[in-house]
């Protein structure tokens, strides 16, 4: 029981450190990472996931690119996680709009957090 989520990332060319793969052995590693089933974000080892990704990325020399992870919650909510070398930002949609199907056919920084949106979070 409890609130559960799944997550996925886009495809990144990353050689994850062994400690990370061992700790998160139940995840799917194929370029990016994704959950193989629903997990509780709190109360188990996924509670450290975002910070561990940041640590692993810094260890493997990921660079200055942002690493994006998206949580899909059982209630239908979404949390976008932007992991940078020294910061982690969380953002969520503030409203939902009805559409005629899946209309999002490409991404052109549509969900990026604008610099002004980071004020007060740093």
pLDDT digits (tens, 9 = 90+) for 1-54: 457 788 888 888 888 999 999 998 888 887 788 887 777 666 565 678 899 999
Q: Which residues pair with 64 in a beta bridge?
A: none
Structurally, how many domains does the chain consist of?
1
Angle in degrees, CA 27, 43, 87, rounded to 5: 70
Q: Sort strands 32-34 and 28-30 into parallel, antiparallel or unpaired.
A: antiparallel
Tokens of 23: 């700790």
If one compares 85 and 1, the residue with the highest pLDDT of the two is: 85
CA distances from 65 to 13, 58, 82, 85 (A): 12, 11, 10, 9
Range of the domain at 91: 5-118
If one compares 86 and 37, the residue with the highest pLDDT of the two is: 86
């Amino acid at each position: 029981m409890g609130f559960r989520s799944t997550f996925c990332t886009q495809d990144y060319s990353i050689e994850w450190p062994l400690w990370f793969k061992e700790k998160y052995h139940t995840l799917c590693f194929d370029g990016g990472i994704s959950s193989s089933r629903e997990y509780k974000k709190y109360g188990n080892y996924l509670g450290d996931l975002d910070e561990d990704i940041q640590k692993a990325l810094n260890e493997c020399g990921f660079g200055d690119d942002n690493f994006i992870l998206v949580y899909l919650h059982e209630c239908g909510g979404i949390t976008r996680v932007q992991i940078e070398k020294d910061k982690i930002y969380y953002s969520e949609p503030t409203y939902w709009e009805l559409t005629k199907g899946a209309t999002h056919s490409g991404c052109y920084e549509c969900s990026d957090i604008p610099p002004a949106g980071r004020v007060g979070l740093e």
